[in-house]
Amino acid sequence: MSESLVVPTMAEMLAEGKQPEVLFWVGCAGSFDDRAKKITKAFVRILNRTNVSFAVLGTEESCTGDPAKRAGNEFLFQMQAMMNIEVLNAYEAKKIVTACPHCFNTLKNEYPELGGNYEVIHHTEFLKSLIDDGRLTVEGGQFKGKKITFHDPCYLGRANKVYEAPRDLIQKLDVELVEMKRSKANGLCCGAGGAQMFKDAEPGNKEVNVLRTEDALEVKPDIIAAGCPFCNTMLTDGIKHEHKEGEVKVMDVAELIANAQDL
Amino acid sequence: MSYLDNILFAILLVVGFGFFAASVKKIIRNINLGVDVDRKDNPKARWKNMAMIALGQSKMVRRPVAGILHIFVYVGFIIINIELLEIIIDGLLGTHRIFAPYLGVVYDVLIASFEILAILVIFAVTVFWLRRNFIRLKRFIHSDLTGFPKSDANYILYFETVLMILFLLMNASDLHLQNVPGGVFHKAGSFPISQFIAPIFNGMSNELVVILFETFWWLHIVGILIFMNYLYFSKHLHILLAFPNTYFANLKPEGQFDNLASVTNEVKLMMDPNADPFAAAPPADENAAPAKFGASDVQDLNWVQLLNAYTCTECGRCTSSCPANQTGKKLSPRKIMMDTRDRLTEVGKNIDANKGVFVPDNKSLLNDYITPEELWACTSCNACVEECPVNISPLSIIMDMRRYLVMEQSAAPMSLNAMMTNIENNGAPWQYSQQDRLNWKNEN
Ligand code: SF4
Ligand code: SF4
């Protein structure tokens, strides 16, 4: 844990006349949210350990515009998109990896029409490809035998049909992967999407994240795995609401892999 | 049958189909009130969707009980229509079972399968009725399904039952008349179900049974014509519209929301330092979509969204899977679709009443039907879209209306305005400086 992270920026790479294999799109949550920063670092530790050549945009990165678009502000979204596309195209970015399904969806699906064409992959897909290529090997480590359930982020699962990569990764850890009663295409939202993260919920009789946490707790997991910084926050809050912080942890798939390897 | 019968029958057909054609025309006109959107690309994938989802009912069976029962009713409906063809020809020509001599054994098999389907339909419809009225599945007793929509669902179930019973009674009396000594009717068909009904005619005079047969026959065909014309007012329009609706459904990933082209032009102009603000003014085109961002009324939606509204079967699968609805929020995606249809019908009536032009009625889909509270409760999770057995997207309407609220009315909730200001100023939804974006690298 103590070894410091190597995080080159695209600008630094360019100065050295190099083009990284992938551009790591960190995202707003991954850059600023204390919980999500841990996910970012876990992912970087894996990248460092496997010698993947990558770079971040650093201060040149800006919000993809996802929350603005889902809130209905198409202007703001397209301005963000065009600014980002300008930067990405200037660096001739080809392959982008991100740990945020919202960034993933927007970059992958909504940027092309505005002039941004990249191969965009979610970090769980990327980690899976590292394993498939033999560049990363994973063993259970501290998670061996633990009961883990995976919460499908809407913008990764239903929105883009990525269901298997995160599950394949979890299974590599010699754990017991249990499915909630609603999973994959039938999964239930964590409650954060569509810009809900940034506002109070409308009146109702329950919070969505609490309902989803109940789904997860029903299968009595040791760990709830997620692949989205927003889901992570929502489920962590849900666990606190149920006073289960002592028993159940919410972890990103990247954290599971990094911690299993004692990175 | 006398010629009077044949003429009467022909008139009935013309009136029945005439009214139906008028309804269809109205539906098409109303759908065309929507903004244009291109859904003609990739015909291969579109045909496949239609074959799998509408014809193959692939999304219905995700809820197996309803799915399988629905398939009975659906196959029954389609197949019994073949029988209808014979009824129409017989009615016009005054013949009786005109296909029988030509089809031979095939005819027996056909009639037998119609009968079995008829009984399966009665069974399925009974279970449906029990689910709606006794078991009271949550999605059927939901607050957005009261009044006409609730009765509508039941009317159709009664209607189908009566039609099937008439069909079986018709066959049973026919069979009886085929078997009486001397055979009033010629032998044709095989009757695995109605053979058990036929004995009720024993002891009646042949004349009476003939009258009964004709009564069943007439009621059956009249019933079908009424049913056909009732569709226009009913959620049962889906039996027709499910096909075009699945054909024209969105093929893109569910998470991909459309980019408003009108906005793209303006943003490009704003961002391009060399742009000449005068040169880029779009040519004045009378038919161009009005420069309104997002949707506040049905005319602002695109025609696929309006087709969706007519196609919605009000099954409530979307609502029952909606996280906002499950946690007691006001949002119900089914209600979004029903409201859109109700408003569209209202606009259509307005146009009819005013010689083909819409006279503003101080009402709109937004506020009069759908409230901002409903719209803001949506997490854009796509569960409703995934669930819908006929590929309707309530979410796309919700998003277009949010766009109107935000871009035309600046009426977003305060917290969202704060989030958007942050993005504008700092490139992040929170109040952090863009210069700090890489700080995590050196933090512990
Ligand atoms: S997309 Fe919106 S309306 Fe549809 S299920 Fe999700 S929250 Fe409900
Ligand atoms: S939108 Fe689809 S799922 Fe919802 S009620 Fe209508 S038909 Fe059913």
CA distance to partner chain B, nearest, from residue A44 (Å): 9
Task: Tell me A194's DSSP state.
Answer: T
Report the distance separating Cα A198 and Cα B420, nearest Å.
Answer: 10
pLDDT tens profile B138-182: 878 788 888 888 889 899 999 999 999 999 999 999 999 998 888
Domain A10-129, CATH class in plain words: alpha beta
Handedness of CA A168, B253, A188, B428 (dihedral sign): positive
pLDDT at B379 over 80: yes
CA distance to partner chain A, nearest, from residue B144 (Å): 16
Q: CB burial class (10 A; 0-12, 13-18, 19+) of residue B239?
A: buried
pLDDT tens profile B210-226: 999 999 999 999 999 99
pLDDT of residue B183: 80
Q: Which amino acid is at A146?
A: K
Q: Splitting chain A (263 residues) into consecutive groups of 10 residues, what average pLDDT does each group show? A: 82 95 97 97 96 97 97 96 97 97 98 97 98 91 93 97 97 95 96 95 96 97 97 97 95 95 80
pLDDT tens profile B1-25: 467 888 899 999 999 999 999 999 9
pLDDT of residue B148: 87
| B317 C-alpha to ligand 2 centroid (Å) | 6
Counting from 1 in the atom list of ligand 2, the atom nearest the Cα of B311 is 7
Is pTM beyond 0.90 here?
Answer: yes
Residue of B nearest to A155 (CA): B255
pLDDT tens profile A192-249: 999 999 999 999 999 999 999 999 999 999 999 999 999 999 999 999 999 999 999 9
Element (DSSP H or E) covering residue B367: none
**Closest CA relative to residue A255, chosen from A58, A87, A99:** A99
pLDDT of residue B145: 81
pLDDT at B421 over 60: yes
pLDDT of residue B2: 62
Give the torsion through C-alpha atoms of B390, B395, B400, B402, to 10 deg.
160
pLDDT at B97 over 70: yes
pLDDT of residue A133: 95
Nearest to B256 among A4, A109, A200 (CB): A109
pLDDT of residue B243: 95
Choose from A5, A31, A213 for mutation: most chain B CBs within 10 A.
A31
Strands (E), B216-300: none
Report the distance separating Cα A227 and Cα A183, nearest Å.
Answer: 14
Q: Do B434 and A32 touch (CB under 8 A)?
A: no
User: Domain A138-261 belongs to what architecture?
Assistant: 3-Layer(aba) Sandwich (3.40)
Which residues make Cβ contacts (< 8 Å) with residue A257, sequence separation at least 6? A42, A46, A127, A136, A138, A169, A172, A173
Q: Is B53:B250 a contact under the CB 8 Å cutoff? A: no
How many distinct helices (H) and strands (E) make up chain A?
11, 8
Chain centroid offset of residue B216 CA: 30
Q: Is B396:B255 a contact under the CB 8 Å cutoff? A: no
Report the distance separating Cα B198 and Cα B361, nearest Å.
Answer: 58
* Pocket probe mutation, ligand 2, options B57, B144, B313, max atoms within 8 Å of Cβ: B313
Give the residue carrying structure tokens 């996280």.
B323
| B342 C-alpha to ligand 1 centroid (Å) | 20
In chain A, CATH 3.40.50.1860 sits at 10-129
Q: Is B318:B241 a contact under the CB 8 Å cutoff? A: no
Residue of B nearest to A65 (CA): B423
pLDDT of residue A262: 79
**Closest ligand by atom to B59 CA:** 2
pLDDT at B112 over 90: yes
Q: Which pair of structure tokens corresponds to residue B67?
A: 């799915």
> What residue ranges line ligand 1, CB within 6 angstroms?
B 322-324, 331, 333, 378-384, 394-395, 398
Residues of B in contact with A201 (CB under 8 A): 327, 329, 377
Q: Do B407 and A69 touch (CB under 8 A)?
A: no
- Ligand 2 lined by B339 (C-beta under 6 Å): no
Residues of A in contact with B38 (CB under 8 A): none
At A252, give phi and psi (nearest 5°).
-75, 150
pLDDT of residue B1: 46
Confidence of residue B75 (pLDDT cuts 50, 70, 90): confident
Q: Is A130:A136 a contact under the CB 8 Å cutoff? A: yes
**Closest ligand by atom to B312 CA:** 2
Handedness of CA A116, A119, A125, A126 (dihedral sign): negative
Report the distance separating Cα B124 and Cα B102, nearest Å.
Answer: 33
If DSSP codes are grouped into helix, strand and coil, which group holds residue A225? strand
